Amino acid sequence: MLYLCLSMAPIFSEVSKKPLQVMVSIPPQKEFLEAIGQHRVSVNVVLSKTQHAELFDPSSELLYQIANADVYVMVGTLAFEKKIQAYLKRVSPHIKVINSIDGLYLHQSFLEDDPHDWMVPEAVIHMVGVISHHLQKIDPVYSQHYQDQAKIYTEKLKELSNFLKKSLAQHQHRYFVITHPFLNHFSDYYYLRPLVLEVEGKTLTGKRLFNLIKKAKKEEANLIIIENESQRRRVRRLSKKLKASVKVLNPLAYHYIKNMTYLGTLFKENL
């Protein structure tokens, strides 16, 4: 994993009323940054909640906007981040780039090629620590502020993690169907078994789809998770075959803790 290691000399060495202009890769990070920085940060997002990270290609206009920020916070796993990273290194070397997953190792699965690390609260706890550490160096006058707010948000993430563990304790090794593999890390961490309806961005067909349906019936998978309402029609026939409920979960939702709490409740009530 590439990590842009730039000079960490303070860019806000004097007391300033002007907040740091921060760009983040995905909407959940906006909640992270605003929780840690509050009035000290103004946060904009590269990827909207309706776009696919795997297919996203930042426009020249968006790259220009990022280059004019003070800080860019990457998830550290998304393909488009490499393009942004290379662009900033070439045209805007002053910008501070933070790789949120720098030093992250929670489980063997986190070495796999799955970019959705933020779907596990323990990974986000690590990200919050990394972000807070760098903000303290960038804006040292408010170092204690970043420490205090990061601690408060971390406690909320720990509460979320405990809620998920309790909610899923009775459902370990249960199967569910999902349209896109954004819960692979989550499932591995909490011992669930996803049956994914696509491989490398393409929907399963033929024998592969037949085998998935056969497995889902055998394991009594009675839950199908889709990313948005537009996918409901796509799984209508399958839901009838499996007698499964269909639920929407957007991994790019801004309200991270609320969204993950909903996910825990969703599994608790439907598996």
Q: Determine how β-strand 175-178 pairs with β-strand 223-226.
A: parallel
> Is pLDDT at 192 greater than 70 in this prediction?
yes
> Is pLDDT at 11 greater than 70 in this prediction?
no
pLDDT band at residue 19 using 50, 70 and 90 as cut-offs: very high
pLDDT band at residue 190 using 50, 70 and 90 as cut-offs: very high
> Is pLDDT at 7 greater than 50 in this prediction?
no
- Write down the pLDDT at residue 58: 84
Residue 21: Cβ-neighbour burial (10 angstroms; 0-12, 13-18, 19+): middle
Dihedral Cα 121, 125, 191, 233, nearest 10 deg? 30
> Is pLDDT at 6 greater than 80 in this prediction?
no
State both tokens at 181. 């593999």
- Write down the pLDDT at residue 9: 44
3 state SS for 206-253: HHHHHHHHHHHHHCCCCEEEECCHHHCHHHHHHHHHHCCEEEECCCCC
> Is pLDDT at 91 greater than 50 in this prediction?
yes
Distance CA 229, CA 208 (A): 24
pLDDT band at residue 106 using 50, 70 and 90 as cut-offs: low
Residues in the chain: 271
pLDDT band at residue 108 using 50, 70 and 90 as cut-offs: low
The closest alpha carbon to 90, from 64, 110, 124, belongs to 64
- Write down the pLDDT at residue 60: 86
> Is pLDDT at 87 greater than 50 in this prediction?
yes
pTM for the model stands at 0.89
- Write down the pLDDT at residue 16: 62
- Write down the pLDDT at residue 109: 53
**Per-residue pLDDT tens digits for 21-80:** 999 999 999 999 999 999 999 999 999 777 777 778 888 888 999 999 999 999 998 989
Phi, psi of 245 (to 5 degrees): -80, 150
Beta carbons within 8 Å of 207's beta carbon, 6+ residues apart: none
State both tokens at 33. 């940054």
**Per-residue pLDDT tens digits for 212-269:** 999 999 999 999 999 999 899 999 999 999 999 999 999 999 999 999 999 999 999 9
Q: What DSSP line would sit under the chain, residue for residue?
A: ----------S--S--SSPEEEEESSHHHHHHHHHHHGGGEEEEESS-TTS-TTT----HHHHHHHHTSSEEEE-S--HHHHHHHHHHHHH-TTSEEEETTTT--SSGGGGSS---GGGSHHHHHHHHHHHHHHHHHHSGGGHHHHHHHHHHHHHHHHHHHHHHHHHHGGGTT-EEEESSSTTHHHHHHHT-EEEESEETTEE--HHHHHHHHHHHHHTT--EEEESSGGGTGGGHHHHHHHT-EEEE--TT-S-HHHHHHHHHHHHHHH-
- Write down the pLDDT at residue 112: 58
CA dihedral over 89, 86, 88, 106, signed as positive or negative: negative
- Write down the pLDDT at residue 10: 53
**Per-residue pLDDT tens digits for 133-154:** 999 999 999 999 999 999 999 9
Distance CA 53, CA 75 (A): 11
Average pLDDT of the chain is 89
- Write down the pLDDT at residue 56: 83
Give the number of other Cβ atoms within 10 Å of residue 240's Cβ.
9
